[in-house]
Amino acid sequence: MSTRRAVLLVGSARPRGTGNSEALGGYVLARLAEGGMDTEVFHVARCQRPERERFLFEAVDGADLFVLSAPLYVDSLPYLVTRCCERMAAHRAAMQEGSAVRFLAVVNCGFPELEHTRTALDICRVFARQAGLAWTGGLGLGGGEAIGGRPLEEVGGMTRHVRRGLDLAAAALLAGRPIPEEAQALLARPMIPSRLYTFIGDIGWLKAARRQGTLRRLRDRPLR
Amino acid sequence: MPPASTDLRLNLPPEPLRPRRAMENHAQITVDPETVRPATRPATRTLVLNGALPGDETLAPVEEALLALLRDVGSEVRRYSMRDVPLAYCQGCFECWTHSPGLCKTDGDAGREIAAAMIRSDLMVLLTPITFGGYSSEIKKAMDRSICLVLPFFRRVNGEVHHRRRYRRYPALAAVGILREPDEEQERIFRTLVERNALNMDSPVHSVCVLAAGTPPPALRERLEADLKPVLDPVAGRLA
């Protein structure tokens, strides 16, 4: 029996090694690799040129599992991911014979509530249907900025529930089962209490502005 | 080939960014010959973003009917055909919040111009093929670049966290989605997405129109009028 393959598409435009989507998707991929799967990572920002895009599509076509880990931009998937999904769905619709690829979507957002991610996960489910991928489930995560782009293990105890949820998801995928509800329930538990998260977030913006010398201009209305 | 951006008042080229005082003067001297109104009354502006993907012409008759309807209610319309507009994607760097507050760091494309057109409009209409229940990538490119219009700081709305407003007022939001074939799931997702966008953008009112591709023009007009009534009434009301 040949080794099973998993492909991760990181849907963030941030530089490699700095995004929360990469941290989350990378964690799932590492668990899949431990379970004996061959793994490959693509970054959506690097898949815009036709030849790179073709590599991605061919990798997905030949995979057993496709994992998309993306941030939430304005209530849905970012432009780069939407474009990639449009083109991948068209590519797979044009295939003579569809390949049996399973699909997991992980969407994280900067707001503390995971409810913000539901529309994007719904969009992922329809994409799966139109691209001929088998939907295994979607995982939403709120308060993603708390990860700070670091590997989840490095973030420490704050991500304990997130890691347990992703462990459950990876185990289900390795066993060929859909994502269990418990995995989403674990990701729904806040890493930081909501009010503390927004307080830290607001302070963080002020600090960043002070560093950049824009504290007094932070509320500017240049386009009015 | 039609221009990527059109000002339907006087067929002007896209408005460049300029200081506020200059913009006010500009607004006073550009009078729509088809909608004469007292000089003291502020004009209402509608921004239409057409998100048709390359090669897709199914949106053309819908856009034509939409623009005619907007002209009939007396709104000044600026339109962008997003597939023809040079626009870089949002890099998620948040520099529009901290480094150059209110402005995307990417200059030299249409990003700042479209964001300015958004915030200066009374109504923003997104015309799009419904893509997996959401907007097309062409619309998403513009929407992603619009985060400079809000502040990074948080506020709570109905128990949910959202961003605080940067500007005093935001446009009403309408979305016209085209489905190639009936799909209840996609229609439901699309309606939810527009509602969520309106909440995040602090739009005073929003509406959604979902049409089947190939709907004949008389029916198009009827559906657009009926479904966009919530956003057209204020536009028309301000001109009455």
Lowest mean pLDDT among A24-28, A116-120, A152-156: A152-156
What is the model's pLDDT at position B3?
A: 58
Q: In the predicted model, is pLDDT for residue A139 greater than 80?
A: yes
| Domain range list for chain B | 41-239
What is the model's pLDDT at position B44?
A: 87
- The verdict on a CB contact (< 8 Å) between B132 and A214 is no
Instruction: Assess whether A182 and A201 both reside in one domain.
Output: no
Instruction: Assess whether A145 and A95 both reside in one domain.
Output: yes
What is the model's pLDDT at position B12?
A: 41
Q: Say how far apart CA A53 and CA A61 lie, in whole Å.
A: 12
Instruction: Assess whether A210 and A146 both reside in one domain.
Output: no
Interface of A with B in 162-181 (CB under 8 A): none
- The verdict on a CB contact (< 8 Å) between A223 and B132 is no
CATH number for A140: 3.40.50.360
Which of B91, B135, B137 is the closest to A13 by Cβ?
Answer: B91
Instruction: Assess whether A104 and A62 both reside in one domain.
Output: yes
CA torsion through residues B53, B120, A205, B153, sign = negative
Per DSSP bridges, beta strands B150-157 and B160-165 are antiparallel
Cβ neighbours of B99 in A, within 8 Å: 212, 214
What is the model's pLDDT at position A88?
A: 97
The stretch A10-37 carries a mean pLDDT of 95
- Domain B41-239 CATH assignment equals 3.20.20.70: no
Which of B98, B133, B148 is the closest to A212 by Cβ?
Answer: B98
Number of domains in chain A: 2
Q: In the predicted model, is pLDDT for residue B65 greater than 60?
A: yes
| pLDDT tens sequence across A30-50 | 999 999 999 999 999 999 999
Which of B92, B136, B137 is the closest to A14 by Cβ?
Answer: B92
Q: What are phi and psi of B33, to 5 degrees?
A: -65, -20
Residue of A nearest to B16 (CA): A223
What value does the mean pLDDT of chain A take?
A: 95
Instruction: Assess whether A213 and A128 both reside in one domain.
Output: no
Instruction: Assess whether A92 and A200 both reside in one domain.
Output: no
Cβ neighbours of B149 in A, within 8 Å: 223
Q: In the predicted model, is pLDDT for residue B19 greater than 50?
A: no
| Tokens, residue B159 | 């128990």
The stretch B127-150 carries a mean pLDDT of 98
Residue of B nearest to A90 (CA): B131
What is the model's pLDDT at position A86?
A: 98
Q: Chain A interface, mutation test: which of B132, B138, B155, most A Cβ atoms within 10 Å?
A: B132
Q: In the predicted model, is pLDDT for residue B175 greater than 70?
A: yes
Q: Say how far apart CA A103 and CA A50 lie, in whole Å.
A: 23
Q: If you count residue pairs, one on A and one on B, with CB atoms under 8 Å apart, how many are there?
A: 149
Instruction: Assess whether A154 and A80 both reside in one domain.
Output: yes
ipTM: 0.95
Q: Say how far apart CA A113 and CA B37 lie, in whole Å.
A: 47
Q: Answer whether B80's CB lies under 8 Å from B5's CB.
A: yes
Residue type for position A152: L
Residue of B nearest to A219 (CA): B166
Instruction: Assess whether A135 and A211 both reside in one domain.
Output: no
What is the model's pLDDT at position B6?
A: 61
Instruction: Assess whether A32 and A131 both reside in one domain.
Output: yes
| pLDDT tens sequence across A75-126 | 999 999 999 999 999 999 998 676 789 999 999 999 999 999 999 999 999 9
Q: Chain B interface, mutation test: which of A43, A115, A223, most B Cβ atoms within 10 Å?
A: A223
| pLDDT band at B36; cut points 50, 70, 90 | very low
Q: Say how far apart CA B79 and CA A194 lie, in whole Å.
A: 40
- The verdict on a CB contact (< 8 Å) between A111 and B160 is yes
What is the model's pLDDT at position B152?
A: 97
B45 three-state secondary structure: strand
Please state the pTM of the whole predicted model: 0.90
Angle at A49 (CA atoms; ends A48, A52), nearest 5 degrees: 90
Q: Which residue has the higher pLDDT, B159 or B39?
A: B159
Q: In the predicted model, is pLDDT for residue B13 greater than 50?
A: no
Instruction: Assess whether A91 and A198 both reside in one domain.
Output: no
What value does the mean pLDDT of chain B take?
A: 85
For A49, the domain range is 5-192
Rounded alpha-carbon distances, angstroms, from residue B233 to A201, B31, B46, B224: 39, 22, 13, 13
What is the model's pLDDT at position B43?
A: 58
| pLDDT tens sequence across B198-229 | 999 999 999 999 999 999 989 999 999 999 99
Instruction: Assess whether A147 and A181 both reside in one domain.
Output: yes
Asked if A49 reaches chain B (Cβ–Cβ under 8 Å), the answer is: no
Asked if A70 reaches chain B (Cβ–Cβ under 8 Å), the answer is: no
Instruction: Assess whether A117 and A33 both reside in one domain.
Output: yes
